Amino acid sequence: MGTYFMKYHQQILVLLGEHLLLVTVSVVLSLLIAIPTGFCIARSKWLSTAALSLFGALYSIPSLALFSFLIPVFGLGKTTAVFVLIVYNQYILVRNTLAGFQAVDPAIIEAGRAMGLDTRRLFFTIELPLALPIILGGVRIATVSTTGIATIAAVIHAGGLGVLLFDGLRMNYLPKMLWGALLASVLAYLGNQGILALEKRALQHARGEGGKAERAEA
């Protein structure tokens, strides 16, 4: 393994960068869709049930099948991969976003309105901060899931660490397979731990513990 890395480290690092970019773009775009969607349907049980049922049905489609269905529309490459990853992420992110906003105590929202906060300020100063820990829990799961599914995107020429895995399988060459699997696992682990730290910090702020901890440290 060491010999292979020394010889092909530039190629491996390029594929690692492609994989990281694919995961980051997919998760960020997924969030931009999921947070407004979850917020809008949080007040309607019918809409939330219908949306989760739809996203759950899409999530159950095998990734290779979904890639194949969309190739005639978007062609081979990263566009199809990102679109599929966004579709898969919606079930996880919308579910957690919905749970986060529904967990906010209505009495707190009414108190904010009584203080004269408009809808925008109410959202950014009260609702989103209180829902953020649960939303970040969904982001953490989606990031790990996306890191794994993104390896399969190599079969449609989207690049990433899946290139090492599938090339290694095709050539029956163990070092390639091991490096692909190892780096994908490390990327998923680091993503999980990084977002977990943000999740814990958001939970402290939601409980009003952030200021106390900072004062104690000072």
The verdict on residue 214 lying in a domain is no
Percent share of the chain, pLDDT over 90:
55
Residues 213, 210: Cα–Cα separation, whole Å: 5
The verdict on residue 216 lying in a domain is no
The verdict on residue 213 lying in a domain is no
pLDDT of residue 208: 80
CATH number at residue 10: 1.10.3720.10
Residues 57, 127: Cα–Cα separation, whole Å: 29
The verdict on residue 217 lying in a domain is no
Residues 203, 206: Cα–Cα separation, whole Å: 5
The verdict on residue 97 lying in a domain is yes
The encoded tokens of residue 144 equal 């790990």
Q: What's the structural domain count of the chain?
A: 1
pLDDT tens digits, one per residue of 168-195: 888 888 888 899 899 999 999 999 999 9
The verdict on residue 10 lying in a domain is yes
pTM of the model: 0.88
Mean of per-residue pLDDT scores for the chain:
89
pLDDT of residue 210: 60
The verdict on residue 36 lying in a domain is yes
pLDDT tens digits, one per residue of 41-94: 988 889 999 999 999 999 999 988 999 899 998 888 899 999 999 999 999 999
Which residue segment(s) compose the domain that 189 sits in? 2-207
> CB of 149 within 8 A of CB of 160?
no
Task: State yes or no: pLDDT of 216 exceeds 50.
Answer: no
> For the residues 163-169, what does the mean pLDDT come to?
89
The verdict on residue 160 lying in a domain is yes
Residues 151, 159: Cα–Cα separation, whole Å: 8
